[in-house]
Structure 1
Amino acid sequence: MAPEGIRYGDAATPEGMRIYAVGDIHGRHDLMAEMHSRIMAEIIEDRPADWRIVYLGDYVDRGPASRQVLEHLSQSVRNDPRVTALAGNHDLGFLAFLAQPRAEGLFARNGGEATARSYSVEIDFGSSEALSRGHAALMEAIPREHLDFLHGLKLSASFGDFFFCHAGIRPGVPLEAQSAEDLIWIRERFRHDPTLHPKLVVHGHTPMPEPEIMLNRVNLDTGAWSTGRLTAMMFEGKKKRLLEVVLEPSG
């Protein structure tokens, strides 16, 4: 690796390993299930010596099927350690709401009602009494497996010349010293920094009309919940290839 950092074109996976990274899902189980099916079909057909699938976080909120997404991913992670799920700010916001329901938190203000609805629970955030009832119903409805999955989400993963996280990194800070806050929340300070990093950073968090492929980072968030477009990228050696599933927007 060059002392100044790694460039997109030079970043390579470990010998014999193929990696797929998948952008933000936000309750679009239809898109995620199709993407997972396509990825597994490629793996079965091409039979790479080793492989990984890395989901970049934000599985819940906004879209209509958060429960189904968590069910699918929790089973996938349990069934095969080569599938990795990283934490997004919305996933941790969901856990924060379950731990302490608040009408002004991330979950309440940014699509949490859709997550609750996927568990057949309606939550009224307008009064503390209604909020308490809705929270109790949601706690009753969510399976232990989903909670275990959410609590077990990793903040980052690294293979070869690639560093995977939800939002990005703080430039200039060693990868092993990155804060949880930055890994799931950072945006402009990271996105507008052109300097090379120790590894190519692959992330989501900031929805864009097209995937961003920069010298020092790759952003795979194409706003699946509203656009109906879920983006992933395959890495094998120095080879890199985009994959997309496009269906109707969820509304």
Structure 2
Amino acid sequence: MHRSAAPSRSVNASAPADTRIYAVGDVHGRADLLSEITARIDDDIQRRPIARTVEVYLGDYIDRGPHSRTVIDLLAVRLVANRAVCLRGNHEAVMEGFLQDPAILQYWQPLGGMQTLASYGIELRDETETALDLHRRFLDAFPRAHELFMQCLCNQFSCGDFLFVHAGIRPGIPIDQQDVNDLIWIRNEFLESTHNHERFIVHGHTPVPHPDIRHNRINIDTCAWRTGTLTCIAIEGSTILFL
């Protein structure tokens, strides 16, 4: 379906010449919405050809929504076929932790980890099943292709005047000296900052009812798993278009 008069905004930053960047917010297990967005991206490229396109997914592909496994399947295809950039969200980091250490389940479960396990066919059999049992079953069920996908995740990505991260950056710290934990977990110190960072920051992590554009950043986590709205922006020159 073609959309007309899509809203757009100009910002004080610019993408490289002849380049369009597509950035997609937190998916959280909503494979249905991700499929719609990737189809919209493909349609937009076909209708508005440009020399170079870059796809960036901002992390938090798993948990909460029902189809985490399918989301990773879809993104693995985009990564290979379109050279998409897939960032690591805090939810992926916690899942990576659980793959290494069963004790991490206590931190993963409140974040929606059981929904992710269920998407791989793993549900509690009875109350006697332990974190170690779930860990062993998850290792057996976790495909090699998904291991490789996780190994390809980035913590940050720069293109032109834009920096793409999952959560944000710590204000006042040079980008090349940022702590990885801040990139995937930070909230208030970044969100409340009016600091002009080295680059214009594109991020997710903190749900907002609609894309939140400030002079120094844009937040495109529109809580897709609950609202049914997965946000995708297209950046060309200094213009941010909402697909």
Tell me the TM-score range normalised by the shorter chain.
over 0.9
Aligned counterpart, 1:34: 36
Residues 1:12 and 2:3 aligned together: no
Aligned counterpart, 1:51: 53
Instruction: After superposition, give the CA deviation of every residue in 1:71-101 in whole Å (9 maximum; x if it has no partner).
Output: 11112112222x1100000011111111111
Secondary structure of the corresponding residue to residue 76 of structure 2: helix
Secondary structure of the corresponding residue to residue 137 of structure 1: helix
Aligned counterpart, 1:161: 161
Aligned counterpart, 2:69: 67
Secondary structure of the corresponding residue to residue 115 of structure 2: helix
RMSD: 1.5
Q: Residue 125 and residue 187 in structure 1: after superposition, are their counterparts in 2 closer, same or farther (change >3 A)?
A: farther
TM norm structure 1: 0.89
Runs of 5+ in structure 1 lacking a partner? 1-7, 244-251
Aligned counterpart, 1:97: 98
- Is residue 62–residue 111 contact of structure 1 (8 Å, CA) maintained in 2? yes
Aligned counterpart, 1:24: 26
1:67 and 1:171 map into 2 onto residues whose CA distance is: 35
* Identity within the alignment, %: 42
1:204 and 1:106 map into 2 onto residues whose CA distance is: 21
Using the TM superposition, name which of 153-162 and 134-143 deviates more: 134-143
- Is residue 23–residue 220 contact of structure 1 (8 Å, CA) maintained in 2? yes
Where do 1:60-139 residues align within 5 Å? 60-81=62-83, 83-102=84-103, 105-123=106-124, 129-139=129-139
1:233 and 1:75 map into 2 onto residues whose CA distance is: 20
Runs of 5+ in structure 2 lacking a partner? 1-9
Where do 1:187-226 residues align within 5 Å? 187-226=187-226
Q: Residue 89 and residue 125 in structure 1: after superposition, are their counterparts in 2 closer, same or farther (change >3 A)?
A: farther
Alpha-carbon offset, residue 198 of structure 1:
1.1
Q: Residue 220 and residue 32 in structure 1: after superposition, are their counterparts in 2 closer, same or farther (change >3 A)?
A: same
What number of residue pairs does the alignment pair up?
A: 234
Which one-letter code corresponds to 1:32 in the other structure? L
